[in-house]
A and B are shown apart, each in its own frame.
Chain A
Amino acid sequence: MKTALFLLLFVAPLLAQDPQRGRRGGDLWERIQGMDADGDGKVSRDEFTGPERFWDRLDQDGDGFVTEKETKGMRRGGRGGQGCQGGRDRRGGGGAALAQRMDTDKDGQVSKDEWEAFFEKADVNGDGLVDRKEFESATSGRAYKDDAPAEGAAIPAVTVKRLSGRGSVDLSKPERTTVLVFGSYT
């Protein structure tokens, strides 16, 4: 009971519908449809030419495409229980889109299971922490970008000190095939 009340109090403001937006929503798909360059009936992220900040609000299921159904969902306010309606959050910007992405059964509420499932998915490396890059990837729907040098690429020019304290090693110039192990040890 307390959990349900908490979810309503927390999620309802994020999903509150903007009445002004609702009245204009009828022609929202008409405006976006014009961006559908390949004519597949949906607008991909690459096709979208609108302001970047609107994408998360439009792509409600986070699949990388905006469909007419999603724009209609924004206009009507979506399904849901008391106080939980789809739409734009004036204060939180992408908060409404985030909540809707987490709400996988589309009942207008984010359950504890949905919350934990979102965390597991966002935690790309499985270390029990969602760092900024993982969070941005999870909330934007964009693929996680790995910054590590690729196989076949040149080794980064990094010099590290020897454990003995005498001299250093240039990792980019190994004398022989070398295994580099990064990690923590207890």
Chain B
Amino acid sequence: MKNSAAKAFAAHPDRLFILTADGKIAYRGARGPRGFKVDEMAERLEKLLDGKKS
């Protein structure tokens, strides 16, 4: 296992991202564990999905 994805996203050891179908990064969380914030990501996801609906 080369861990290429974690390297490409500088994600080690924990991190959250939201990717959109247009090939962009919509949310980049800070590096975890300190920056690993599920609530923050969820809030951003809701806004993103609400924006798509309207």
Contacts and interface: CB of A to CB of B under 8 A. Distances in A.
A153 B19 CA distance: 10
Residues of B in contact with A, size category: 35 or more
A182 B30 CA distance: 12
A172 B25 CA distance: 9
A96 B20 CA distance: 48
B8 to A, nearest CB: 4
Interface in B1-20: 4-6, 8-20
Contacts, number: 110
Interface of B: 4-6, 8-21, 23-28, 30-36, 41, 45, 48-49, 52
Given A148-B9, A156-B9, A182-B11, A177 B19 contact: yes
Contacts of B28: 148-151
A125 B18 contact: no
B45 A171 contact: no
A186 interface: no
A150 B25 contact: yes
Contacts of A155: 19, 23-25
A54 to B, nearest CB: 31
B25 A183 contact: no
Contacts of B23: 154-155, 172-174
A183 B13 contact: yes
